[in-house]
Chains A and B, each alone.
Chain A
Amino acid sequence: MGAWTVLQERQAMLLDPAIRDWVLIPIMIVMVLVGIVRHQVTVLLNGTPKKADLKSARETKALQRGGILRAHGTHLPEHAFEARKTFLSDAFEKGTYEKDPNASSKPKGNVMQDPAYVETMMDGMKKNMMNIIPQTVIMAWINFFFSGFVLIKLPFPLTIRFKSMLQRGIETSDMDVSWVSSLSWYFLNLFGLQSVFTLILGSGHAADAMRDMQAMSTMGMGAAAGPQMGPTGQPADMHKIFLSEKENLDLTEHEWGLENVEMRVLVKYGKLPRSVLVDYKKAKSLGSASSQSASSPSSASAQIAAAASSSPAVTAGKKKGRRQV
């Protein structure tokens, strides 16, 4: 109850319903509509994505192949893995898959002369402009027409620091900070409408305010260019990338994914105690060959009756497990 009376007291200010009808709701509607239009225009401008030519596609795919081999090499038997590794690192070294094998020896010309580079640059600029212009226009519109009066009361308090920002153009020093002008309503909409756009346009829509902010901060640096641009905006040296991928490949050790699989299956279905695996790891790190040959086949065969496998590795593990338990 106390909170309610405080609320009533604070709210000794009445706003003209016309403000609601002609400012509050129109701003929101305009922002939603502009967001939708922007999404459609971006889709229109982008058109169908440009097809990469054969050579550059081969270049990226070769790099991807190296990455895939590194990540999923455990599914290959050792000899297959080694064969692929040797082949790929050889090819990377020689630059077989590069778009232009002699590019690194040639002196670099001016990048601005390269039509492909200029085109990606223009694309980035176009996208940036598409992001910035609508927001700037709306902001100017709101500033021009709707400044100088209180629009709405935020349902939560803010510190006094926000006063100059949220109550710009309203010269009252004593008014509570939660009464804000139309510009704050604009910012609330800018961020809050994201989810509305997600609902209307599906995710991955082009009406993203966060991206606007990014675009504004990186404006003029030719950001958002192509994927193959280095951090400086120069086209990256593919040969160097290939060499580093080769190095990564050389460092990758093969680990056979089915190693010890019988034991793992038995442990999984509860035929063997879990400690077997730990023992196995220990034995492997010491040199597994000696520990496995130590178990005699005759004593093992009596014990495997319960277990559904007769592999010597399993029995060795099983014996070790029993001994420990």
Chain B
Amino acid sequence: MSGQQINPDDALYVDMYIAKNSQTMTFIRSSYSAILGLAAGTLGLTNWSGFIFYFLGSAFLSLLIFLVKAKGNPSPYFRQPLDVFTEGVLGGMLSYILFWTLLYGIIHVYD
């Protein structure tokens, strides 16, 4: 995350940096949700447990980003501080379902 030290009080966000940050978020979330899908498929989760697994996993990821990358203070990096927790969660879900289905099918449906 290329963060710039700015005062959160004023609305001076550099668009380029904001775009770069959300790009980084997308990157992290994409790879993470694919890996999470592989894990869920291998474990053979079905129905709600799979979706709950995804949401717990991405909440954990959000927490990691919040604490490690943003050092507990996301407002210098994002226009909306809550973006750390929401951005890309639903977009990652599609690829989660894909890899979940793939691994579930290969391991538990085909013998």
Interface residues of A (CB under 8 A from B): 3, 7, 11, 14-15, 17, 19-20, 24, 28, 152-157, 185, 188-189, 191-196, 198-199, 203
Chain A residue with the shortest CB-CB distance to B48: A156
Of A19, A20, A156, which is within 8 A of B47 by CB? A156
Q: With A and B bound together, what is the CA distance between A189 and B102 in angstroms?
A: 10
Of B30, B45, B91, which is within 8 A of A155 by CB? B45
The answer on a CB contact under 8 Å between A11 and B95 is no
Say yes or no for B41: interface residue by CB 8 A criterion: yes
28 sampled A-B residue pairs with Cβ under 8 A: A7-B44, A20-B110, A24-B102, A152-B105, A152-B109, A153-B104, A155-B41, A155-B45, A155-B47, A155-B50, A155-B104, A156-B47, A156-B48, A156-B51, A188-B97, A189-B98, A192-B99, A193-B98, A194-B95, A195-B29, A195-B33, A195-B91, A196-B34, A198-B27, A199-B30, A199-B31, A199-B34, A203-B27
Say yes or no for B82: interface residue by CB 8 A criterion: no
3 closest pairs, A vs B, by CB? A192-B98, A195-B30, A195-B95
Beyond contacts A17-B111, A24-B102, A153-B104: 8 other A-B pairs, Cβ-Cβ < 8 A, are: A15-B109, A15-B110, A24-B105, A155-B46, A155-B47, A195-B33, A195-B95, A196-B95
The answer on a CB contact under 8 Å between A192 and B105 is no
Say yes or no for B78: interface residue by CB 8 A criterion: no
Say yes or no for B94: interface residue by CB 8 A criterion: yes
Say yes or no for B64: interface residue by CB 8 A criterion: no
Of B46, B47, B48, B110, which is within 8 A of A17 by CB? B110
Most A CB within 10 A of own CB, among B31, B44, B94, B106: B94
The answer on a CB contact under 8 Å between A153 and B109 is yes
| A191 cross-chain contacts in B, Cβ below 8 A | 94, 98
Say yes or no for B21: interface residue by CB 8 A criterion: no
The answer on a CB contact under 8 Å between A156 and B46 is yes
Q: With A and B bound together, what is the CA distance between A20 and B101 in angstroms?
A: 13
* A153 and B105 contact, Cβ closer than 8 Å, known pairs A20-B110, A195-B33, A199-B27: yes
The answer on a CB contact under 8 Å between A157 and B47 is yes
Chain A residue with the shortest CB-CB distance to B88: A195
Nearest CB of A to B25, in Å: 10
Nearest CB of B to A121, in Å: 29
| A185 cross-chain contacts in B, Cβ below 8 A | 101
Say yes or no for B86: interface residue by CB 8 A criterion: no
| B101 cross-chain contacts in A, Cβ below 8 A | 152, 154-155, 185, 188
* A194 and B94 contact, Cβ closer than 8 Å, known pairs A7-B46, A20-B110, A155-B45: yes
Q: With A and B bound together, what is the CA distance between A203 and B94 in angstroms?
A: 17
The answer on a CB contact under 8 Å between B104 and A203 is no
Say yes or no for B23: interface residue by CB 8 A criterion: yes
From residue 79 to 93 of chain B, which have CB atoms closer than 8 A to chain A?
91-92
| A153 cross-chain contacts in B, Cβ below 8 A | 104-105, 109
Say yes or no for B75: interface residue by CB 8 A criterion: no
| A192 cross-chain contacts in B, Cβ below 8 A | 94-99
The answer on a CB contact under 8 Å between B26 and A203 is yes
| A196 cross-chain contacts in B, Cβ below 8 A | 30, 34, 95
Say yes or no for B77: interface residue by CB 8 A criterion: no
Nearest CB of A to B61, in Å: 14
| B106 cross-chain contacts in A, Cβ below 8 A | 20, 24
| A7 cross-chain contacts in B, Cβ below 8 A | 44, 46
The answer on a CB contact under 8 Å between A188 and B98 is yes
Nearest CB of A to B65, in Å: 16
| A155 cross-chain contacts in B, Cβ below 8 A | 40-41, 44-47, 50, 100-101, 104
